Each structure stands twice: as C-alpha cells, then as structure tokens.
Amino acid sequence: MSERTQNSTSRRSFLKQTGRLAAVSALAGGMVPRMYAAENNTIRIALIGCGGRGGGAAENALSVKNGPIKLVALADVFEDRVKRAYQGLRERYADKMDVPEDRRFVGFDAYKKAMDCLRPGDVAICATPPAFRWVHFTYAIQKGLHMFMEKPVTVDGPTTRRMLKLAEEADKKNLKVGVGLMVRHCRGRQELLKRIQDGEIGDIILLRGYRMSGRSATASRRPNNISELMWQIRSFHSWIWASGGVFSDYYIHQIDECCWMKGAWPVEAHAIGGRHYRGDSLDQNFDLYDVEYTFPDGTKFFYQGRNMDGCQNAFASFAHGTKGSAVITTSGHYPGKVRTYKGHLMEGVEPIWRYPQPEQSPYQLEWDDLIDAIRNNKPYNEVKRGAEASLVTSMGRMASHTGQVITYDQILNCPHEFAPDVDKLTMESPSPLRADASGKYPLPQPGIIKDREYREFA
C-alpha cells in the first residue's frame, strides 16, 4: 500500500544562496559543543537517496518555516533518480535550491561527495535502502552533520548493534538525528498516548495491528542491461539484505506505534507465514505474515500482514484495555483519526474522545521538530529508538522466516549479517545476494533453516 493517503502531504510524494554553519567552542564545564546556524541562519541540506521517499523528505525539509533552508546537493546510485528529483523539486522550490550540475552526484561514493558540500551543523537526508544506513551515518558523524534518516535503520542484529554505538557517538557530538517514524510526531497520537497513560482505557491487555494490501514488492527476471547488484538496489523491497523485505519496510510503523502505546518493547515473537501466489517472482518475501509478540508483562500484540490481490485490505491498529479500547490508526498513517471507547465495540458506538479534524501532517511535523531542535539546541536523537523499533520488527520477521520463537536477545545477537561488506560496494561489485545457476534466489524455509533467515548459495 502507498505510504500516503489522499489527504496527506507526505515526504513519500515528491525538492541561491547557501548559509554558513559553524560549531561554537565547548562551554566551560566540559559541555559538548552546540551546533548552530550562524550569520544568515541558513541550514543547508544534502539529499542522499533520490527516490520518492527522499524527494518527499526534501519537500518537508524545505517547507519548514522557522528559518531559511537551502538544498545544495543530490546523490544516488542511479542518475535518472537524481535528474527526476532535481526536476521535481525545482518546480516547487526553485528559490530554496542551489544545486548546480557539479553538485549532483552518482555512484556508491556519491554520499560522501554530497556531505562534503555541507558544513558542520548542516543536515544530511539519508533515504537510501536501509542496508546503507550505518555507512552513511558513520560519515555524517565524522563530518559533524545532523541527519534525517528513513526507517528502518537496521535490518539485522549486527547492524543494530553497530547503529546503537553510532547513536552514542552522535550524542557525544551533540548531533540532532531524526528517524522517519513520523507517527510519533502526530499530535493526535501524542494526545492518545497521554490519555492511555492517564488510565482512560485502563491497563493495556491486548494490541492489534494490520497491514493488508495487494501483491507488492515482486521481482521477476533481471533485465540484461543492469547488473545483479544494481537490479536488487532498484527493487530493494524484494530483498532482505537491502531492506528487510516488505515486513521491515512496511510493517515497522504499526509495530512501533503499538509498542509506543504500550510503553515497552516485546521480549519475544512467535510467528507463521508463507508464500502462495508469487508466480515467477524471485523476491524473498512471503505473501502473509502473522506474528504474536509478547511484552515483558505477558501482554500480547498480534500483527498481521498480507500481500495478496483480491483479499480484504486493512491498514489499522488498536489497543484494548481493562476499561475500554482505542484506535491508534484508522486506515493509514495520516490522518490517524485516533479515538477511545468505553468498551471493546467500536462500530456504531460513540467514542469517549476523538482527536479534532483536520490533523497536521506528521510528515511535516517531524521535520518541524527536528529543525527546531537544531536551531534551539534541544536534545534530539531518535536513533536508539529507531534501531530498537527496527530490531523488534526484524524479530517478528525472523520468527516467521524460521518458524521458531525468537527473543529480543536472540535477534540482537544473531551473527548473520546480510551484507557485511556493503560499505565497500562499487558499481562493479557482485551483489551480497547471488542467484544459483538456474537464476533462483535463496528463500526462507521455516522449520528447515532455523538459525538464520536464509542461506546464501555457495
């Protein structure tokens, strides 16, 4: 399903003067330096990953109204995406762009060239497939750059451990980092959380989440005019190494928002799933996923995902308490139309409370909040929470792909890194995932492969 509803202005939709930024010296008492916008107060932006999500994030960045912002560099491994992003953004934000041709970079090192156009205290947008997140974040920290990174931020245990350490390094440099779990910035969900914490529906005893849509993220035979690596990056939702598959990339939002309402992360996951109608598709996704998450106090969270045409669709999440229930998501990320009820029946019953409409776009609010934190030096680093949400999502995915109960500690310490040399890739590199002689790719085999989600072919 699309990340955008008809009423949303989403960062998923689709961005001459640059400012100067500097870091002030550390204050007395050993405080970390403050990164602030100096002189004309312009914050400069570099977009790394020029697909729809990157273009949408750049739109939201350039729409922040608390001070001047300029887009100064674009980067991607595909030239056509750089061109399309530049043209699309220029139509609406020409006065906020200074991106001459020599600051439009293509290649696996393009992210470095784009970040090199920034100064300490500027902002890098990382909207590439998540496999590259830790690589780009590492360089941003070295350069003293604030960052906005798309979700998920990790796809396996090793990259999660790495990202948690990088989050600490960013804190040491007082860097502000936003993660694209924009529902946490929704003012309606924030009010709902407060009402749940105040006991309006009692203690939470059950959570439910659904994302069911038509067939998605399929990949058939590779065209002859593109390498295996570039083809997989182009179709990154199809490959676990690149994105965590549809489970991680699509389902993380509702998994995160339900855990947020509960105020805890699950400690284990038990799941089923399978492929039924993939036809000649070579992707690694299942058609359906059904996960039972368990929280430390024993509370259950049931998540169901489906990718099949002709079936009943759903895009919603709910909380059930000892005194009532709540709608966390109605039919998409935005508008949430959150509300609470006295009981567990929600059809034909008046709610206790509902958030007033229309709502502000959380896609814009997360950028307003990030830039406000940068300009006013507020604590702001969402990476730890984003890494934990990504790990919990991977926990459910691994439980489904292996047919085993997977605990939080097991997924965190699982040694299987899907793309250990992703930081060394070039245009000529082989892919981290190779086909066999018949052109088939390794798939999860629940109950057969139990210690990892798939085994690479020799």
Q: Which residues pair with 35 in a beta bridge?
A: 23
Of 29 and 198, more confident = 198
- Asked if residue 154 has pLDDT above 80, the reply is yes
Count Cβ neighbours within 10 Å for each residue of 79-109 and write b for 16 or more, e otherwise. eebbebbbebbeeebeebbbbeeebbbbebe
**CB 155, CB 240: distance < 8 Å:** yes
Within 10 A of 221 (CB to CB), how many other CB atoms are there? Answer: 10
pLDDT bin (cut points 50, 70, 90) of residue 220 is confident
The pTM of the full predicted model, rounded to 2 decimals, is 0.92
- Asked if residue 40 has pLDDT above 80, the reply is no
Cα 289 to Cα 285: distance, rounded to the nearest angstrom: 10
Secondary structure of residue 129 in the 3-state scheme: coil
Q: Which residues pair with 318 in a beta bridge?
A: 208, 327
pLDDT bin (cut points 50, 70, 90) of residue 38 is very low
Between β-strands 204-213 and 314-321, what pairing exists: parallel, antiparallel or unpaired?
A: antiparallel
Q: Which CATH number fits domain 21-183+364-381: 3.40.50.2300, 3.40.50.720, 1.10.645.10, 1.10.3720.10?
A: 3.40.50.720
- Please report, rounded to a whole number, the percentage of residues in the chain having pLDDT higher than 70: 91
The top-level CATH class assigned to 187-359+391-424 is: alpha beta
- Asked if residue 311 has pLDDT above 60, the reply is yes
Cα 30 to Cα 385: distance, rounded to the nearest angstrom: 27
Cα 294 to Cα 299: distance, rounded to the nearest angstrom: 6
Per-residue model confidence as pLDDT tens digits over 346-386: 999 999 999 999 999 999 999 999 999 999 999 999 999 99
* 334, HSE (Cβ side, Cα atoms, 13 Å): 25
Q: What's the confidence (pLDDT) of residue 39?
A: 53
Q: Read off the pLDDT of each residue in 314-340 and give the average, rounded to a whole number.
A: 98
Cα 267 to Cα 304: distance, rounded to the nearest angstrom: 18
Q: What's the confidence (pLDDT) of residue 2?
A: 37
Burial of 302 (0-12, 13-18, 19+ CB in 10 A): middle
Q: Read off the pLDDT of each residue in 331-356 and give the average, rounded to a whole number.
A: 97
Domain residue extents for the chain = 21-183+364-381, 187-359+391-424
Of 314 and 29, more confident = 314
Q: What's the confidence (pLDDT) of residue 20?
A: 33
- Asked if residue 280 has pLDDT above 90, the reply is no
The token pair that represents 163 in the structure block = 């990202």
Q: Which residues pair with 177 in a beta bridge?
A: 147, 381
Secondary structure of residue 380 in the 3-state scheme: coil
Q: Read off the pLDDT of each residue in 387-395 and give the average, rounded to a whole number.
A: 98
